[in-house]
Amino acid sequence: GAGVSQSPSNKVTEKGKDVELRCDPISGHTALYWYRQSLGQGLEFLIYFQGNSAPDKSGLPSDRFSAERTGGSVSTLTIQRTQQEDSAVYLCASSLYYEKLFFGSGTQLSVL
């Protein structure tokens, strides 16, 4: 597709379960970002991948959160042992030039 694709669009899980969120960036974009948007809040940076460089993980809130990017393309954000405070919209963005980000429509995660 032409844009950034995220799946699933919505995810409901039980507290303590693991979840995986997927992001398909725009083809050819070397940079990929994950952001979290909690209710009534702005976007909180989680992690940033750029080419083959080591990712910037400085925004990950705890060691329950991890992300990988395979083959410089698709990325998966994994949350282990989910907690209710993890409920949020998780947005992915990709870019070729770092000042021009293109966002996906996000995954709404609800932890019951």
Partner 1 sequence: AQTVTQSQPEMSVQEAETVTLSCTYDTSESNYYLFWYKQPPSRQMILVIRQEAYKQQNATENRFSVNFQKAAKSFSLKISDSQLGDTAMYFCAFLNGQGGSEKLVFGKGTKLTVNP
20 near partner 1, judged by CB under 8 A:
no
Judged by CB under 8 A, which stretch of 13-21, 32-40, 68-76, 79-87 contacts partner 1?
32-40
41 near partner 1, judged by CB under 8 A:
yes
**Three-state DSSP state, 55:** coil
The residues near 102 (Cβ < 8 Å, ≥ 6 apart) are 3, 4, 26, 29, 93, 94, 95
In total, the chain counts a number of residues equal to 112
Query: Min. distance of Cβ 16 from partner 1 in angstroms?
Result: 26
Asked if 43 and 91 touch (Cβ cutoff 8 Å), the reply is: yes
Q: What are 75's two structure tokens?
A: 């990325």
Q: Please, which of residues 60-99 interact with partner 1 by CB under 8 A?
A: 89, 91, 93, 98-99
Q: What are 109's two structure tokens?
A: 């995660």
- Which residue number, 18 or 85, has a Cβ lying nearer to partner 1? 85
Question: Contact positions toward partner 1, by CB under 8 A?
Answer: 31, 33, 35, 40-45, 48, 50, 56, 59, 89, 91, 93, 98-101, 103-106, 108
